[in-house]
Amino acid sequence: MQHELRVLKPEEYFIEDEPYYAPVGDEIAVFEAAYRHGLPILLKGPTGCGKTRFMEHMAWRLKRPLITVSCHDDLTSSDLVGRFLVRGGETVWVDGPLARAVRAGGICYLDEVVEARKDTTVVIHPLADDRRVLPMEKVGELLEAPSEFCLAISYNPGYQSVLKDLKQSTRQRFVALEFDYPGAVLEQTIIEKESGIDAARARQLVKFAHMTRNLKGQGLDEGASTRLLVHAAKLIVGGVDPVVSCRSAIAQALTDDPDMLSAINELSASLF
């Protein structure tokens, strides 16, 4: 039986061009300090507030390859670590994304980690404490993380429940950074920068977003995210009517409830 230990080629995952990111606090300094000391990072915040963009920016800033894993209900430890596969009549071992990131001294970002199965998150514990190792029991290997390796995870506290919460045994291994939607002025700047929309329209979109965010817990799980505002702005720049853009990029993305859709659409019609 042949073991094929597939090593990540760092150049395939390096981010060459600087991703636009507007800092809202001291998150860059905290991340860099944690990285220098080999500490794992936990990003907390609502959907679409910039967590993934922040990770892309930090990977570019630190000149390290970034591997992002979007966690889901069916994610297993083998999906992260690796598994045996049959290729050309031979059984070979193929590293998963976590193992590839460790070997390359890259950054592994587990997005929405609470969506993964509970037994899956346990595999990251040895990497997230002083041991900094990844046990690969199926091949009898203990993979030691180099100093360049960084483990980062994210989750949305707004969706916490008894079934989908981050265990204390996991979260207390991490340095936590809390994210939220930026202030109105900064959010307007981000929308202008990302979409090319004019300042007046960007300001209207921010005002509309705050209206929808006030509906959180009153029929909406979440209000309009900065990401959705950028989507709407791009449609407007592309020539789509602002009300139609808000309906397609924001309202329909937030809910399927007919009454809530009607209410959100009325809000956009009152602004544009």
pLDDT value of position 130: 94
**Contact criterion met (CB below 8 Å) for 29 and 138:** no
Beta bridge partners of 93: 84
Measured distance CA(267)–CA(210) in Å, rounded: 11
Q: Which two tokens stand for residue 190?
A: 């981000």
Mutual angle of helices 199-213 and 184-195, in 10-degree steps: 130
Euclidean distance between CA atoms 110 and 155, whole angstroms: 9
- Residue 153: the pLDDT is 97
Q: First vs last Cα of the chain: how many Å apart?
A: 66
Whether the CB-CB separation of 236 and 197 falls below 8 Å is answered with yes
Distance from C-alpha of 131 to C-alpha of 129, rounded to nearest angstrom: 5
Query: What pTM was computed for the model?
Result: 0.91
* Distance between CA atoms of residues 17 and 116, nearest Å: 31
Provide the pLDDT for residue 9.
53
Per-residue pLDDT of the chain (272 residues; tens, 9 = 90+): 344 444 445 555 789 899 999 999 999 999 999 999 999 999 999 999 999 999 999 999 999 999 999 999 899 999 999 999 998 889 999 999 999 999 999 999 999 998 888 778 889 999 999 999 999 999 999 999 999 999 999 998 876 554 567 888 999 999 999 999 999 999 999 999 999 999 999 999 999 999 999 998 898 988 999 999 999 999 999 999 999 999 999 999 999 999 999 999 999 999 99
Give the dihedral of Cα atoms 239, 253, 67, 76; nearest 10 deg. Answer: -160
pLDDT of residue 165: 76
